[in-house]
Amino acid sequence: MARSFEASQAEFESFPIPPTEEEWKAIRAPYYNASLAGCLFDEHEYVTLGDVCTEWLKPNEFEIVDED
């Protein structure tokens, strides 16, 4: 039988809020957060689960090879 997950067992990380929105987005980028949770159930108004997968699975850097 599965044990239920209690809120008292949850681990949370808190971050100081940076001065700019770009810095805030950079801090949140590596985490799957509550803002995206709705797409798991096809309830997010603007983001699909495919969008999240595409964003998380794309490489961070591309190597440009000049063959000329």
pLDDT exceeds 70 at position 24: yes
Question: Residue 19 — pLDDT band, cuts 50, 70, 90?
Answer: very high
Sole residue written with tokens 């950079």: 26
Judge whether 1 lies within some domain: no
Cα separation, 19 vs 2, in Å, equals 43
Query: Amino acid identity, residue 24?
Result: W
Domain count, the chain: 1
How far from the centroid of its chain's Cα atoms is residue 34's Cα? Answer: 9
Choice among 6-15, 25-34, 51-60 with the minimum mean pLDDT: 6-15
- Is residue 12 in a domain? no
In a domain, 46, yes or no: yes
More confident residue, 11 or 4: 11
Is residue 48 one of the residues assigned to a domain? yes
Looking at every residue in the chain, the average pLDDT score rounds to: 76
Domain extent, residue 41, equals 32-60
Answer yes or no: is pLDDT of 5 > 70: no
C-alpha distances out from residue 43 to 13, 26, 49, 59, 62, Å = 26, 24, 10, 27, 33
Using CA atoms, how far apart are residues 58 and 53, in angstroms rounded to an integer? 8
